[in-house]
Structure 1
Amino acid sequence: MMKKIIKVITVVGAFTASSAQAIPLQLDVTQLDWYNPVSGSNIVYSGNDSIAGNEVISWGVPVKEKQSGYELEVYNSTFDVISDQSFLLGDFTHHNYVMKRGTSIYEASLKMGVAVSTPTLNDSIDLSFLFDHTETTNNCTSSPTCSNDRIKVVSNATNQFSFNNTLYEFEILGFITNGVLSDIFSTVENQSSVASLVGRVNTVSVSEPSSFGIFSLGFAALLFTRRKSLKWG
């Protein structure tokens, strides 16, 4: 009798464990839009690639001829990813030029439209990321980098989405410059600095089989074992 019980537990356990396995996902970036800048003046939006939307935002009253701004160019419109493994999303550029006081932004948000799919399922999701911007004084002398502007992506809990009975979260981990990943992108004055933006799709939770489903599976395994016992008895 003990052997039969062990067999049922093994079957149910195997089913539960298999449901938690990571499934490769295909992500298609369908739209990129900067929006909702805080403060700043002379805000200009533009797009310069095949992806819909305005992936460039510029701002400020320049001391010389150039505005400051953000620009995101994804490496591919389609990404093959595996949950909980990081991947390179694209090049993030900060055009960092001297603006007149009070005309720079404090933050801006990026809206990303994504189609997520497997060979048998597909869905569309909308993501939003907040980029916090620290505009520094240009006459700082305490260190060689104290005049660098600093950019940080603030996590957004609304970037969770349910797909294929699994709850995921799309996260931007930070910026890679000179081979080093950091949550802060420090950019030099009077030039355009580029970093690789790193993303990851985290598995938040996996829907377990319902209690009825587990009972049915266990009962079926028990019945199968019972029939084999009668046949061999």
Structure 2
Amino acid sequence: MLASPGLAAAATITTIDGAWSGSDPVVSGVGTDRLLWGESAGYGQSGYRFDSAETPLEVFPDASFLIGAFTHLNKPIRGTLLREAELTVSFFFEGLAEAVTSVFVFDHFETHNEAETCANGVDNYTGVNLKGCADRVGATLNEARSDTVEIGGVSYYMDISGFEYGGSLFDYFWTEERRENVANLVGVLRATGEQEPPSPVPLPASGLLLIGAMAALGYARSKKAAA
């Protein structure tokens, strides 16, 4: 990993730039802020979109901050189904000439839309599964491909805390079919060698039902629509 010159105990991010830098399988939009895949079954293609957070932004070690908004355009599709995607985010700090880059890996779990009981353990056509079984998206840091930055004499890397939606933070979220599902992508400056805290507790089935009922935001492969 690359080390950058030292910064004060608090640092200011002047710009955040993000682009989808790879996918499995390769789909349309690599190199841009929006991926698209699959053959439309009447509602358009499925996709991922990343919108950077507003800057300037003051950040502190071990304190969460907003990286940007992640959107899953969950549509019924045929053909190519996404399994994984990489998002490369460049953070430009005040006082540093070069960006500090982090690579986040998104695991995509396409579910069978017509299953009686969906992958989240909730009955189909209810709650977040109202329009067919919800898909699951998770995100982790590829630390080996991410830079470090020195703050107050300590080396830090830009880690990912998870998805924030419905007022809580989760390490994955379920996304409703035929909907643009949006969640905040939350990061944290974590000291090199520091262990990650326990993963946030997944939302229970009852909570999923409540979120679905409130039309809130709702990971493997599925048959999205009959061929």
Tell whether the structures are fold-level matches, with TM greater than 0.5. Answer: yes
Higher relative contact order, chain-length normalized (CA < 8 Å, sep 6+): 2
1:141 aligns with 2:141: no
Aligned residue among 60, 63, 84 for 1:82: 60
**In the alignment, is the contact (CA less than 8 A) between 1:22 and 1:83 conserved in 2?**
no
Quickly say closer, same or farther: Cα 1:30–1:174, change in 2 above 3 A: closer
8 A Cα contact 1:117 1:123, kept in partner: no
Superposed, 1:1-233 pairs within 5 Å as: 23-39=9-25, 43-45=27-29, 54-100=32-78, 102-118=79-95, 121-142=96-117, 143-144=122-123, 145=128, 147-158=133-144, 159-164=146-151, 165-204=153-192
User: Which has the larger share of helix?
Assistant: 1
Distance in 1 of aligned mates of 2:47 and 2:160: 19
Change (3 A) 1:22 1:148: farther
The letter of the residue matching 1:138 is N
Q: Using the alignment, how far apart are the partners of 1:22 and 1:181 within structure 2?
A: 28
RMSD: 2.3
Misfit runs of 4+, over 4 Å: none
Identity of aligned residues (%): 29
SS at match of 2:32: coil
Structure (1 or 2) with the larger CA radius of gyration: 1
In structure 1, stretches of 5+ residues that fail to align are 1-20, 47-52, 206-233
Whole-Å separation in 2 of the counterparts to 1:103 and 1:156: 25
Deviations along 1:41-83, one digit per CA (max 9) or x if unpaired, are xx3328xxxxxx6211111111114110111112314321111
Measure the CA separation in 1 of the matches of 2:47 and 2:71.
8
What's 2:199 paired with? none
- Superposed CA deviations along residues 15-44 of structure 1, whole A, max 9, x for unmatched, are xxxxxx97111123353210221026xx33
Report how far residue 116 of structure 1 moved: 2.0
Distance of 2:88 and 2:115 partners within structure 1 = 34
Summarize the Cα distance change of 1:26–1:196 in structure 2 as closer, same or farther, 3 Å threshold: same
Q: Which stretches in structure 2 are left out of the alignment for 5+ residues?
A: 1-6, 194-227
* Aligned CA distance change for structure 1 residues 44 and 54 (closer, same or farther; 3 Å): same
